[in-house]
Amino acid sequence: MSLPLQGAALDAAITSSIATLKSTFGEQAPEVAVVLGSGWSGAVDQLQDQQHLPYAQLPAFPQPKVEGHVAEITVGRVGQQRVAMLRGRAHTYESGDCTGMAGAIRSLKAWGVKVLVLTNASGSLRSHQPPGSLMLIADHINAPQRSPLTGLPGNDRFTDMSVAYDAELREQGFKIARQHNMVLTEGVYVWAVGPHFETPAEIRMFAAWGADAVGMSTVPETILARHAGLRVAGLALITNMAAGMSDEALTHALTLQQAKLSGERAAAFLGQYLASLATLASVKA
């Protein structure tokens, strides 16, 4: 994957992407956008009146090369809620640059999106969250301490991250889980760059820090979204126990296998959650 665009080139790509989004899907943007991580792709089937657009026609969007990711944006309705689903994301381990989703997120904000729901596949650091569990992200730890805002001008780069994951959106997630008798945990997500998996010693350190799940995405996107003024919700599908917590060897194939096994349930919950956001006046505001 080539390095992400920056500066004037990124600004021009965003302007072009916004124009294409509007001409394809309409001037009125969906209030909610979702980044679909591994295991969550089935959520697209929840959308009615689907329209599709490949990232290749959106110069500000990435071209992910990771198995399980489709480089396409799909727009449709879940119940009364109009939603844009991003089927693929850029990972820092692809290029070494953590700004890979900057163009996409800034394009969505400029188009008129208000809420960004980030989903991922994660490893569990807690025995009460076995593979197949769903975890609502309450907060995160940026283990590598890398920021996609590095080098930006102006004082707004000093973005407040004290409430990175919106409290009202989290409570709505628990409400839907209760209504459908689903187990939904809440925890802290720690970002590791990858692409290698963590060592058992690193996992013990992360657990001591207070992390409940670990993964290789989401945190840069959350920082970018909060900088852009978007409200953020995060959902992790637990696909494995982290290193040292089981005898199983960690591989990307294992992650995809467990994501496939649990993906239908995760997608169903996500669809119910997204539909419920139409009842929140603050999302429509």
Distance of alpha carbon 135 from the chain centroid: 13
Structure tokens at 112: 């008129």
- State the DSSP code for 182: -
Structure tokens at 145: 């301490």
What is the amino acid identity at position 220? P
Residue 167 exposure: Cα atoms within 13 Å on the Cβ side: 3
Do the annotations mark residue 162 as ligand-binding? no
Do the annotations mark residue 38 as ligand-binding? yes
- Give residue for tokens 């009125």: 28
Do the annotations mark residue 180 as ligand-binding? no
Do the annotations mark residue 140 as ligand-binding? no
Per the CB < 8 A criterion, the answer to whether 177 and 184 are in contact is yes
Do the annotations mark residue 2 as ligand-binding? no
Per the CB < 8 A criterion, the answer to whether 105 and 159 are in contact is no
How far apart (Å, rounded) are the C-alpha atoms in residues 102 and 223? 10
What is the amino acid identity at position 14? I
Do the annotations mark residue 226 as ligand-binding? no
- Give residue for tokens 């919106």: 166
How far apart (Å, rounded) are the C-alpha atoms in residues 163 and 169? 12
Cβ contacts of 11 within 8 Å, gap of 6 or more: none
Do the annotations mark residue 69 as ligand-binding? yes
Do the annotations mark residue 91 as ligand-binding? yes
How far apart (Å, rounded) are the C-alpha atoms in residues 120 and 118? 7
Do the annotations mark residue 198 as ligand-binding? yes
Q: Given phi > 0 = left and psi -120 to 50 = alpha, else beta, which region is 15? A: alpha
Of the candidates 159, 158, 221, 157, the residue with the CA atom closest to the CA atom of residue 189? 221
Structure tokens at 219: 């945190």
Name the binding residues for a purine D-ribonucleoside: 198, 240
Name the binding residues: 38, 69, 89-91, 121, 198, 217, 240
Name the binding residues for phosphate: 38, 69, 89-91, 121, 217
